[in-house]
Structure 1
Amino acid sequence: MIIRFILAALLASLLSSWGGVAFAGEVRLAVASNFIEPVNALARRFQDETGHHVVVSTGSTGKLYAQITNGAPFDVFLAANEREPQRLEQDGLAAPGSRFTYALGRLALWCREADGPETAKRCLNINTTRLAIANPRLAPYGQAARQVLAALSLQDALQGRIVSGENISQTYQMVWSGNVPVGFVALSQVLGQDELMGAYWPVPPQLHAPIAQQAVLLSRAKGDAAAEAFMAFLQGPDADAVIRGFGYDRAGGE
């Protein structure tokens, strides 16, 4: 009798535990490479607050877009631009009305031989031997870097010395490893790094088109509690504090 009671209690406990898990869901994010550190911080906070599990996949915006159009099982797309989320919406692959700007990106010029912002800025000149940028065909930060070179009248002079990474993370790795001495990276990648080799120059936003990074709920996840909860969380005050802490602005300058 006692054994039967103990078994019944254990079974009730297990069912209670399983019942709690049943209410927690999973949200799969496709995230532009520049946003990997902020999204990891956001995911931890979201998981703590809601119990929903977050799975993050990263890459260039162009490659992630191609994966989504080919049926990759993502729920939310955090791009580094506006174009791809708009295209998904137009093609019926994103939930109507879900698209919004979650961050305004900032570009930085990182120079391993510099000792401050002004010397980092001077690393970009007609004598620069090699310059790393993200592939402008795939990565919006690469497009912005090209616009900066054009604005500074350096595009033609440096054309043969540009080394392209597939995405902004690869570009960062090129400079970090010392394979390339100077490179355009996301400000969030170098901001606040005490042990950063060299120094960086925060590129004035007026030298390139705004890097409006948009999020969209994919059609396959419409009605999914975890995915919709993450979209709401991303627009809230907790996410705002995290995103600003990594050097991004928010739409409207709020």
Structure 2
Amino acid sequence: MSTTPRERARAQTLLDITRIGREHLAADGAAALSLRAVARDLGVVSSAVYRYVKSRDELLTLLVVDAYTQLGDEVDAAVDAADGPVEKFLTLGRTVRSWGLREPAGYALLFGSPVPGYHAPAEQTTGPGTRVIVKLVQIFDEAWREDRLVARTTPASLSGLHGDFSDIRNEMGTDMSDDALARGVTVWASLFGAVSFDVFDQYGSDTFGARDQIFEYQLALFVELAGLT
């Protein structure tokens, strides 16, 4: 469907606001974002920007969606080009880490400390924000259907979570066991924990000289933990 010149102009202005917002996010951090500063760099008065973005929180939401979309697009493209569940999982992990190291401000906005006073609107951020975990579930589900995910007896310690896992199965369209889902959740949390340690320099700047090797070792452990074969 064709768009009008006004619609194209509005879309371009929103892209410019998002781009400048990313620059300010990288330079000053999320808590210091200012629509007035964005308007100044855009070359317009503040009131002009408010026609597109009504508040700092709306600007933050634009940046959150933008960052999730960047990450999701890169993960989808990389994983879809890989063969087999193990290689797809390794590719997903490497892509998340690569994006985080390249875009630390965006990664921090998504997975770092919450911005004081800001609450991301679920109706705008849930879809983009769950793309990576949906891809991860698809990888595990593919392995499960191909008998390449080790089937184990669900331990009694997970009995209280059966209802939650049933909801996940219904939402994600999978029939993985409670144990397989629990291992998947643990791998998910561990993967982003490992990436966060690296992106936020939690190891210390001079602790490891070859962080790529540490991460590859961690990925191999996550493969074993997930039960991928």
TM-score (norm 1): 0.25
Greater C-alpha radius of gyration: 1
TM-score (norm 2): 0.27
Structure that is richer in strand per residue: 1
Structure that is richer in helix per residue: 2
> Which structure carries more relative contact order (alpha carbon 8 Å, separation 6+)?
1
